[in-house]
Chains A and B, each alone.
Chain A
Amino acid sequence: MSETPLIGGATLAPIDSRLAGARIGVVTFPGTLDDRDAARAVRASGATAVELWHADSQLGDVDAVIIPGGFSYGDYLRAGAISRFAPLMSSIVDAANSDAKLPVLGICNGFQILTEAHLLPGSMIKNDHLKFLCRDQVLRVENNTTAWTNAYAAGQDITIPLKNQDGQYIADEKTLDALEAENRVVFRYVGMNPNGSRRDIAGISNAAGNVVGLMPHPEHAIENGYGPGHTGTDGLGFFTSALNTILGGK
Chain B
Amino acid sequence: MSETTVKKFNIDTVANAAVTPDVELPWAELGLKQNEFDDVVKVLGRRPTGAELAMYSVMWSEHCSYKSSKNHLRQFGEKVTEEMKKDMLVGIGENAGVTNLGDGWAVTFKIESHNSPSFVEPYQGAATGIGGIVRDIISMGARPVAVMDPLRFGAIDHPDTARVMHGAVAGIGGYGNSLGLPNIGGEMVFDSVYQGNPLVNALAVGVMRHEDIRLANASGKGNKVVLFGARTGGDGIGGASVLASESFDSTKPSKRPAVQVGDPFAEKVLIECCLELFKGSLVEGIQDLGAAGISCATSELASNGDGGMEVELTSVLLRDPTLTPGEILMSESQERMMAVVTPENMAAFEAVMDKWAVEYSWLGEVTGTGRLIIKWEGEVIVDVDPRTVAHDGPVYDRPYARPEWQDALQADTFTGSVQDAGRPATPDELKAAMLELIASPNMCSKEWITNQYDRYVGGNTAMAFPDDAGVIRVDEETGLGVALATDANGRYTFLDPYHGAQLALAEAYRNVATSGAVPMAVSDCLNFGSPEDPDVMWQLAEAIRGLSDACMVLGIPVTGGNVSLYNQTGSTPIHPSPVVAVLGKFDDVARRTPSGWQEDGQAIYLLGTTAAEMDGSEWANMRGHLGGLPPKVDLANERELGEILINASRDGMIDSAHDLSEGGLAAALVESALRNNTGARVALDEVAARDGVDIFTLLFSETQGRAIVSVPRSEEVRFNDMCTARRFPVSRIGVVDAAGAALDLQGLFTAPLDELREAHEGTLPKYFG
Contacts and interface: CB of A to CB of B under 8 A. Distances in A.
Given A6-B275, A8-B207, A37 B477 contact: no
A34 B178 CA distance: 11
B207 A31 contact: no
Nearest to B178: A71
A73 B457 contact: no
A226 B263 contact: no
B460 A31 contact: no
Contacts of B170: 131-132
B344 to A, nearest CB: 24
A184 interface: no
Contacts of B451: 133-135
A33 B265 contact: no
Contacts of A36: 458-459
Given A10-B477, A74-B263, A33 B457 contact: yes
B459 A219 contact: yes
A225 B592 CA distance: 10
Contacts of A10: 475-477
Interface string B329-357: 00000000000000000000000000111
B706 interface: no
B457 A8 contact: no
B109 interface: no
Contact of A76 (B265, B454, B460): B265
Contacts of B263: 74
A37 B357 CA distance: 24
Interface string B254-282: 00000000011110110000010001000
A88 B255 CA distance: 46
A132 B171 CA distance: 11
A66 B264 CA distance: 24
A225 B179 CA distance: 23
A226 B279 contact: no
Contacts of B125: none
Interface string A226-250: 1001100000000000000000000
Contacts of A134: 450-456
A34 B454 CA distance: 11
B177 interface: yes
Q: Main secondary structure on chain A at its contact with chain B?
A: loop
A37 B594 contact: no
Given A7-B474, A33-B268, A132 B459 contact: no
Contacts of A7: 143, 145, 207-208, 474
B458 A131 contact: no
A23 interface: no
Given A8-B475, A74-B178, A134-B451, A163 B456 contact: yes
Contacts of A226: 456, 459-462, 473
B98 to A, nearest CB: 15
Contacts of A73: 265
B476 A71 contact: no
Given A37-B457, A74-B178, A8 B474 contact: yes
A9 interface: yes
Interface of B: 143, 145, 170, 173-174, 177-180, 207-208, 263-266, 268-269, 275, 279, 355-357, 450-463, 473-477, 589-590, 594, 676
Given A30-B265, A71-B265, A226-B459, 16 more contacts: A6-B143, A7-B143, A7-B145, A7-B208, A8-B475, A10-B475, A31-B265, A37-B456, A73-B265, A74-B264, A74-B266, A131-B452, A134-B456, A226-B462, A226-B473, A230-B462
**What 6 A-B pairs are tightest by C-beta distance, nearest first?**
A74-B265, A33-B180, A10-B476, A37-B459, A220-B456, A10-B477
Interface of A: 6-10, 30-31, 33-34, 36-37, 40, 55, 70-71, 73-76, 131-135, 161, 163, 165, 217, 219-220, 222-223, 225-226, 229-230
29 contacts: A7-B207, A30-B265, A31-B178, A34-B457, A37-B456, A37-B457, A71-B265, A71-B268, A75-B178, A131-B170, A131-B173, A131-B452, A132-B170, A132-B177, A133-B451, A133-B452, A134-B452, A134-B456, A135-B451, A165-B177, A217-B456, A219-B459, A220-B456, A220-B457, A223-B459, A225-B590, A226-B459, A226-B460, A226-B473
